[in-house]
């Protein structure tokens, strides 16, 4: 379904970023999603574990969870996370029996120095609406949002609106939400809030994180 050539050096990666950044579409969703996938990755020695958890939306019922384990092929370089995690995440998404209408990423969308965080990068590659939900700010300025769930403030970078700082639970630290591809700032914020139940991290991403840690632990046990 998806076949991509991934770079192994930073010069090629920079050229790919320039090309993909020009293909990003920032717009409201064309239709409400029926399925949403949360994806996350974990690392073990020279391997990366990519996980995709598919949920029915808006009821947030778990449909399916899959994973892929691939050798690491790109070094750790800030701002180039997509090239490190992307191959395993896409491989996991390929295993889903139903294609998601939107994908949530534990990372940035356009709130990124190159406007191409992992949500934007993979969203463009897969031509799928995508949203980034990060635990911390990478770029931009903002005012603290209110303390109640649903409170938010605008995130600006270089005089451009690139996302929202969103309170997903009363009196907890906010998350940093930005559109990746085929979504806009409001759409991204609305989806993250709709996917946030009892915890700070939206349910699909929380599940993907949990599964990635479980798989990592299983692999550790098998290697002993």
Q: Domain segments of the chain: what residues? A: 10-223
Q: Coil, strand, or helix at residue 194?
A: helix
Is the C-alpha dihedral spanning 10, 14, 19, 20 positive or negative? positive
What does each of the 224 residues of the chain score in pLDDT, given as a tens digit?
A: 456 778 888 999 999 999 999 999 999 998 899 999 999 999 998 999 999 999 999 999 999 999 999 999 898 888 898 999 999 999 999 999 999 999 999 999 999 999 999 999 999 999 999 999 999 999 999 999 999 999 999 999 999 999 999 999 999 999 999 999 999 999 999 999 999 999 999 999 999 999 999 999 998 888 76
The continuous run of DSSP H or E covering 193 comes out as helix 185-194
pLDDT, mean over the chain: 95
Q: Tokens standing for 219?
A: 């692999």
What topology does CATH give the domain 10-223?
archaeoglobus fulgidus dsm 4304 fold (3.30.2170)
Q: How far apart, in Å, do the first and last CA atoms of the chain sit? A: 35
Helix 118-126 and helix 10-21, axial crossing angle in degrees, nearest 10: 70
The span from the CA of 31 to the CA of 140, in Å, is: 29
Around Cβ 184, how many Cβ atoms within 10 Å?
A: 15
Give the 3-state secondary structure of residue 220: helix
Contact (CB, 8 A) for 154 and 177 = no
Is the peptide bond prior to 132 cis by the omega test (within 30 degrees of 0)?
A: no
Ramachandran category for residue 127: left, alpha or beta (phi over 0 → left; psi -120 to 50 → alpha): left
Nearest Cα residue to 206 out of 35, 56, 85, 39: 39
Query: pLDDT tens digits, residue range 21-76?
Result: 999 999 999 889 999 999 999 999 899 999 999 999 999 999 999 999 999 989 88
Under DSSP, the state recorded for 138 is S
């Amino acid at each position: 379904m998806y076949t991509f050539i991934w770079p192994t050096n930073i010069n090629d990666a920079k050229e790919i970023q320039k090309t993909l950044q020009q293909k990003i579409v920032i717009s409201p969703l064309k239709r409400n999603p029926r399925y949403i996938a949360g994806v996350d990755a974990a690392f073990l020695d020279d391997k990366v574990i990519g996980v995709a958890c598919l949920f029915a939306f808006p009821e947030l019922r778990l449909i399916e969870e899959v994973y892929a384990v691939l050798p690491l092929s790109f070094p750790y370089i800030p701002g180039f996370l997509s090239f490190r995690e992307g191959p395993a995440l896409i491989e996991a998404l390929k295993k889903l029996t139903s294609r998601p209408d939107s994908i949530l990423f534990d990372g940035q969308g356009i709130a990124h120095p190159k406007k191409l965080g992992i949500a934007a990068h993979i969203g463009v590659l897969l031509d799928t609406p995508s949203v980034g939900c990060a635990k911390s700010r990478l770029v931009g300025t903002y005012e603290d949002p209110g303390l109640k769930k649903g409170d938010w403030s605008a995130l600006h970078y270089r005089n451009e609106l690139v996302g929202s700082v969103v309170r997903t639970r009363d009196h907890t630290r906010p998350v940093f939400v930005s559109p990746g591809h085929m979504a806009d700032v409001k759409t991204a914020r609305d989806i993250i809030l709709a996917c946030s139940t009892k915890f700070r991290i939206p349910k699909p991403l929380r599940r993907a994180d949990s599964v990635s840690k479980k798989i990592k632990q299983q692999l550790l046990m098998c290697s002993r």
